[in-house]
């Protein structure tokens, strides 16, 4: 089967080509890091139109470009090729959020993350026994003990 053309499923829906799937992952990785196509073009030494064509699946990505893109996007080549599951998006978001912190602040974030991991999952909230009062309903005053 020709992998450069989308093929139709029995229900008539077009399946994206492998090139288009790789292009989508490239775009997702770039956008996750907040990079522009111009940023990527500069890092690769190619015109921006080449990055656009790669992301749309209209241009093959060379092995060397793929390796450079994986480094730039902090992803594995396997992930870019669709051979590895998603999972790095949260890691990348955490990396970006902490990249500019001082070493002391990074240590505090790490200790907090370890605390959260040790605490386990939060308990499920209990259901209320009665429905809440409608919006705008006055709340009765709280009586001091012994005056109820």
Q: Which own/partner pairs from 51-58 qualify as long-range (CB within 8 Å, at least 24 positions apart)? A: 54/22, 54/23, 54/26, 55/23, 55/24, 55/26, 55/27, 55/30, 56/20, 56/23, 57/16, 57/17, 57/19, 57/20, 57/21, 57/22, 57/23, 57/24, 58/19, 58/23
Percentage above 70 pLDDT, the chain = 69
pLDDT score recorded for residue 63: 94
Mean pLDDT, rounded, for 100-126? 79
């Amino acid at each position: 089967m020709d992998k450069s053309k989308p093929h139709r499923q029995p229900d008539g829906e077009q399946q994206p080509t492998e090139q288009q799937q790789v292009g989508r992952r490239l775009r997702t990785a770039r956008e996750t890091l907040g990079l522009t196509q111009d940023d990527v073009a500069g890092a690769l030494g190619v015109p921006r139109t080449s990055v656009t064509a790669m992301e749309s699946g209209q241009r093959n990505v060379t092995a060397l470009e793929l390796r450079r893109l994986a480094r730039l996007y902090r992803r594995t080549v396997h992930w870019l090729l669709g051979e590895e599951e998603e999972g790095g998006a949260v890691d990348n978001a955490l990396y970006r959020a902490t990249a500019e912190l001082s070493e002391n602040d990074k240590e505090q974030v790490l200790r907090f993350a370890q605390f959260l991991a040790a605490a386990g999952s939060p308990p499920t909230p209990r259901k209320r026994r009665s429905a809440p009062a409608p919006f705008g309903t006055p709340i009765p005053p709280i009586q001091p003990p012994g005056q109820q």
